[in-house]
Amino acid sequence: MEVREEPKFVQFSTGDVIEGLLLNIDRIKVKDNAAIRYTVQQDDGQSVSFLGTHQLNTKLRTTDRGHRIEITCEGEDTMVKRGDNCMKVFNVKVSKEVVTRDAALLASSEIPEITDDDIPF
């Protein structure tokens, strides 16, 4: 048996990048407020989670589960503030195809390239 850990919770700072397979999108409560939590499995097998912002919630969809995503925090828009917090700006990329289990295994393992010399006919 394996011990299952909670995904590491991350908060974005300028320049941070999260890349991997979008596993889950959950509705949760944070201090009695509704929020959306995203869980991503990174290429090293570790899972991380983060809370959605208006921009992330607009750019990521429930149909993106199973797709590879890459989120880069590009900085803050100082023109948009709530209290002392400026709105964070994100570049969000989503693969067009769902990542199948076999494709994920191939991407994570070091399999040598097959050439014509490897084919016996």
34 assigned to some structural domain: yes
Judging by beta carbons within 10 Å of its beta carbon (0-12, 13-18, 19+), is residue 100 exposed, middle or buried? Answer: exposed
Per-residue pLDDT tens for 13-70? 999 999 999 999 999 998 888 899 999 999 898 999 999 999 999 999 999 999 999 9
Domain of residue 17 covers: 8-109
pLDDT at 41: 94
Per-residue pLDDT tens for 69-89? 999 999 998 888 888 888 999
55 assigned to some structural domain: yes
pLDDT at 121: 45
119 assigned to some structural domain: no
On the question of pLDDT at 117 being above 60, the answer is no
Whole-model pTM: value is 0.78
Q: What is the CATH number of the domain that holds 13?
A: 2.40.50
53 assigned to some structural domain: yes
